[in-house]
Amino acid sequence: MLFGLGLLGGGLSGLLGIGGGIIMVPLLLYVPPALGYTALGMKVVAGMTTVQSFAGTLSGALGHQRFKRIHWPLVGAIGIPMTLASFVGSRYSIYASEDLMLLIFAIMALVASLLMLMPKIEQLAEARLEDVRFSFPLAVTIGLLIGTAAGIIGQGGAFLYVPAMLYLLHIPTRICIGSALAVGIFSSGAVLLGRLGSGQIPWQDSLILVAGVIVGAQLGSLLSQRTPRVVLRRILAVVIFATALKIGINVYGEFGQVTVSENFPSLLSPACHMA
């Protein structure tokens, strides 16, 4: 089951330029109990998808580099600040409750799905790397904001910065997908490093998942070059919206129970705690 889920997540990673966490998190949360296995907690899932996201982006980026679809100045502008922010968010994620992590995940998915609803006009001809222009300050800001939230939930954040690159920075679709995978290597790598010393990664299950991811990402990268750009964007929009809806429904039922771990140093008064 884990290998099959990894194959699916890796395929989406290579096809759409995402680490696969946007689909892998709900699959790992809901598929095992549906098949009669023990349900996995959000922190266990976050640990597994931390490894899965890194493997998926690395394998997918290698596939897209063969077709010269990675804009490295853009990768640096978003990836470097995102790496730093992801590392900080990942280190302090141990203090967040599982419900709080789900809430952050749902908010990020909702914002991404709203971005995907924005119209995008793209040239008929395939854009060249040397013709791509973007706002450097905006790219850095995107990296910082998304990196912090991504570190907390254990994701590379590609399901949010891919729409941001498409609709805020106006990057052509195929270059966006290839560059997003390269950014994901840095951001998901930082999340992985942040969790290494805190015992949050179930390595045996994670490696089984990754085995499927590596195969799937290579197949997805090849398929991405043969799929029309508008189809790629529509698939990404459907994946993000469906996940935002499912997680949002789950969070709505748990909203009253969202808390912060008792290990986190609280600034609230006793009266606030009683309320």
- pLDDT classification of 121: cutoffs 50, 70, 90: low
Domain-embedded: residue 102: yes
Does the pLDDT value for residue 260 go beyond 60? no
Domain-embedded: residue 241: yes
- pLDDT classification of 269: cutoffs 50, 70, 90: very low
Domain-embedded: residue 76: yes
Structure tokens at 163: 């729409």
In the chain, pLDDT over 90 holds for what percent of residues?
A: 10
Of the two residues 47 and 16, the one the predictor is more confident about is 47
- pLDDT classification of 262: cutoffs 50, 70, 90: very low
Domain-embedded: residue 11: yes
d(CA 136, CA 244): 29
- 247 lies in which domain range? 2-121+129-255
d(CA 240, CA 93): 23
Radius of gyration of the chain (CA): 18
**What's the number of domains the chain is made of?**
1
H-state helical runs in the chain: 2-16, 21-34, 42-65, 72-91, 98-116, 136-153, 158-167, 173-196, 203-225, 229-254, 270-274
Domain-embedded: residue 266: no
Which tens digit of pLDDT belongs to each residue from 141-180? 999 988 887 777 766 667 778 888 888 898 888 888 889 8
Domain-embedded: residue 214: yes
Does the pLDDT value for residue 53 go beyond 60? yes
At position 3, the amino acid (one-letter code) is F
| Burial class (CB within 10 angstroms; exposed 0-12, middle 13-18, buried 19+) of 273 | exposed
- Is residue 224 within 8 Å of 177, Cβ to Cβ? yes
Q: Mind giving me the DSSP string for 52-109?
A: HHHHHHHHHHHHHHTTT---HHHHHHHHHHHHHHHHHHHHGGGGB-HHHHHHHHHHHH
Residue 125 zone, left/alpha/beta (φ > 0; ψ -120 to 50; rest): beta
* Predicted local confidence at residue 136, as pLDDT: 94
Domain-embedded: residue 242: yes
* Predicted local confidence at residue 208, as pLDDT: 92
Domain-embedded: residue 261: no
* Predicted local confidence at residue 253, as pLDDT: 64
Average pLDDT over residues 57-76: 87
If one counts every other C-beta atom within 10 angstroms of the C-beta of residue 140, the result is 16
Q: Which of 75-89, 121-135, 186-200, 249-263 has the lowest mean pLDDT?
A: 249-263
- pLDDT classification of 271: cutoffs 50, 70, 90: very low
Residue 199 zone, left/alpha/beta (φ > 0; ψ -120 to 50; rest): left
Average pLDDT over residues 113-124: 65
Whole-model pTM?
0.67
Structure tokens at 273: 């705690």
Which tens digit of pLDDT belongs to each residue from 221-250? 888 888 887 787 778 777 777 766 766 676
